[in-house]
Structure 1
Amino acid sequence: MLEKKKKECPSNLPSARIVICFHNEEFNVLFRTVSSVMTLTPQHILEEIILVDDMREFDDLKEKLDYHVENFRGKIKLIRNKKRAGLIRARLTGASRASGDVLMLLDSHCKVTKVWLEPVLNAIAKDPQMGVCPLIDVSDYVTLEYQSSPVVRGAFNWYLQFKRDRDFSYERDGPEGPTRPIWSPAMTGGSCAINRHYFNAIGKYKGINLWGGENLELSLRTWMYGGQLFILPCSRVGHIDKQHFANHTGIVKALVYNNLRLVHIWLDEYKVKDTSLVWIGE
């Protein structure tokens, strides 16, 4: 892992509510996510973790998870959906149960690092209309080996596929140096934070189905409602890229719907004129 540059954050930071949703996540991977948050986050800024069980099918995500979560009594709220909702609605369920100012949305297959949340809270405390993302490192899908990533910003192409672009050297100039927040056109979907009141004000994830494209939708909402997006190089979160479900018919259909909806609502004169939502209902 890359050595972090020292950067001081104020002691009077707001606290965060962290929403983690899961469906058929591997127990060890989910518990690795939760335990890394619990052990590497100062307790005075971690108000609670809201775990949303989106109708799991694995047995060890039932009583076994209940037993282990009990070790963190008072800091973890476990919500079990009575029917499958999909990632987006599950996140909204978790967000609706959160209080306080800062909402952190985190995938169930992550591993946080030391001093990961302090820069996030500091940035949002300075500007409540700012969406921020930690820099995403890579955890190998098979070995879970942690690999540091270069400093990149979030972007997307004309196919609305999320891409990562390198930062510019001049962005590291100034007193903050390599810890300076990087202005970003788009946020990542697996780890992002936003002021809860601002999230509600700009429409949350309204109209988005199941999974996919929600990070671009929220990015455009943020910019068009007067906010900004930044990547924080001094905050790092390891993330397992799961490619094995990429061809699932329901997910592909939801992703296409979400992207077409985004095109029609937000892209105005930049959209292809003949783009249609009609075939989605077939």
Structure 2
Amino acid sequence: MIKGILGNYEPKNLVKIPSPGEVVSLKDGEEKQRGEKSVDDYGFNEVASEKISLDRHARDTRPEECKYWKYPSVDKLPTASVVLVFFDEELLKDIISVDDYSDEEHITVRLPEYIKKWNGLVKYVRTKQRVGLVEARAAQGDVIVILDAHCECVTNWLPPLVTRFALNRKTLAVPIADGIEWNTLQHNSAYFGGTRYRGIWEWRFLHKETEIPERERNRMKYRTEPYKSPTHAGGLLAIDKKCFFELGAYDPDIKIWGGEQYELSFKVWMCGGQVEWVTYSHVGHLYRGPRRRSMHPRGGNLRQSHINHLRVAEVRSVDYIFI
């Protein structure tokens, strides 16, 4: 890194697009009512989302130092497949859209037609039941990048992630997740004041974050270096494809969502790998608001996440399960 000289993947002449984007306010009356109904259905304001330009630039929330890192050239980096899992919602090799058994017409009919214009770069895979990331095998890139569908990627987010695998293929790399507000779609920086956090969990398997320990801070020459973490929140990650399947991929007995981030993190660490949070890769993630519609499949178990956590404890923490 050389301060004052932009990194080799930084856009040199970024054109600012004059389009609506950062904060949306709805008019009182019918428009506001439609927005409130969409929150009930989906957990975010779809009406506000529709008023935002499709080509808006995600807010650059990276620390200033991140813009001066230099990464290996394209020919020295692995290619990446981005896997988007949704339910009713130059380095890039392909994008796999896994329709996890949606039932909305705009997903099941119109979306497959729309993505045909990308000439095979975007692939649509529909499942016949809620299976999550089983279809990750369809990815062709060296690295699988898993993102929730409700994400916006910040400038230069991908090279920092795939660089970690050029250095150590047994890495699980995690971008920093910024917050996108569910009602206004405003993109906010994840952390303030330069504090760096890592993922941990409590005994009930609730995800928590805590400041990185002093020994990790002392190891770092620069504040924006990647750092090790016991686990992560799930939903946003990158992993070497061969390594992922060598580890057995995700446990097939973990259903829908909840617990998979712990199960994969434990396997990575226990098999000689590492989990890293990559400070100079930022992805905006929409955190859903209150909604009435369940994300569980019709007839599914509403306690599925608790069942998943018990499965993780039984398989990976058998010596401590009754503590």
Sort the TM-score into its range (normalised by shorter chain): 0.7 to 0.9
Please identify, of 167-176 and 109-118, the stretch whose mean Cα deviation from structure 2 is larger. Answer: 167-176
Separation in 1, partners of 2:145, 2:129: 22
- Cα deviation per residue 1:86-126 (whole Å; 9 max; x = unaligned)? xxx23111x11123321111101101111111011000121
Separation in 2, partners of 1:174, 1:156: 24
Separation in 2, partners of 1:141, 1:251: 26
Q: CA deviation at 1:247?
A: 9.3
Match of 2:315 in 1: 265
Match of 1:20 in 2: 84
Q: Say if 2:260 is the partner of 1:218.
A: no
Q: Say if 2:177 is the partner of 1:131.
A: no
Q: Evaluate the alpha carbon distance shift between residue 235 and residue 2 of structure 1 in structure 2; reply closer, same or farther with a 3 A threshold.
A: closer
Q: CA deviation at 1:62?
A: 3.4
Separation in 2, partners of 1:58, 1:187: 31
Q: CA deviation at 1:257?
A: 1.1
1:1-282 alignment to 2 at 5 Å? 1-5=61-65, 6-11=68-73, 12-25=76-89, 43=90, 45-81=91-127, 83-85=128-130, 89-93=131-135, 95-150=136-191, 151-168=196-213, 171-172=216-217, 176-206=221-251, 207-244=253-290, 248=294, 250=300, 252-272=302-322
Q: Which amino acid aligns with 2:284?
A: G
- Cα deviation per residue 1:55-76 (whole Å; 9 max; x = unaligned)? 2222222343234323422310
Separation in 1, partners of 2:271, 2:290: 35
Q: Which amino acid aligns with 1:223?
A: W
* Runs of 4+ more than 3 Å apart: 168-176, 243-252
Q: Which amino acid aligns with 2:93?
A: E
Q: Would you say the 8 A contact 1:133–1:188 is kept in 2? A: no
Question: TM-score normalized by structure 2?
Answer: 0.72
Structure 1, gaps ≥5 residues long = 26-42, 274-282
Separation in 2, partners of 1:251, 1:211: 12
Q: CA deviation at 1:166?
A: 2.2
Q: CA deviation at 1:24?
A: 1.4
Q: Which amino acid aligns with 1:196?
A: K
Please identify, of 3-12 and 117-126, the stretch whose mean Cα deviation from structure 2 is larger. Answer: 3-12
Q: Would you say the 8 A contact 2:164–2:173 is kept in 1? A: yes
Separation in 2, partners of 1:225, 1:243: 37
SS at match of 1:177: coil
Separation in 2, partners of 1:106, 1:50: 10
Q: Evaluate the alpha carbon distance shift between residue 176 and residue 72 of structure 1 in structure 2; reply closer, same or farther with a 3 A threshold.
A: farther
Separation in 1, partners of 2:107, 2:221: 43
Q: Would you say the 8 A contact 1:212–1:251 is kept in 2? A: no
Bigger radius of gyration: 2
Separation in 2, partners of 1:269, 1:254: 23
Q: Which amino acid aligns with 2:82?
A: I
SS at match of 1:111: strand
- Cα deviation per residue 1:136-192 (whole Å; 9 max; x = unaligned)? 110001111100112321111111111122234664557751221111000231110
Q: Would you say the 8 A contact 2:231–2:265 is kept in 1? A: yes
Q: Evaluate the alpha carbon distance shift between residue 245 and residue 186 of structure 1 in structure 2; reply closer, same or farther with a 3 A threshold.
A: farther
Q: CA RMSD in A?
A: 2.2
Q: How many residues align?
A: 250
Q: CA deviation at 1:131?
A: 0.5
Separation in 2, partners of 1:152, 1:177: 15
Please identify, of 246-255 and 1-10, the stretch whose mean Cα deviation from structure 2 is larger. Answer: 246-255
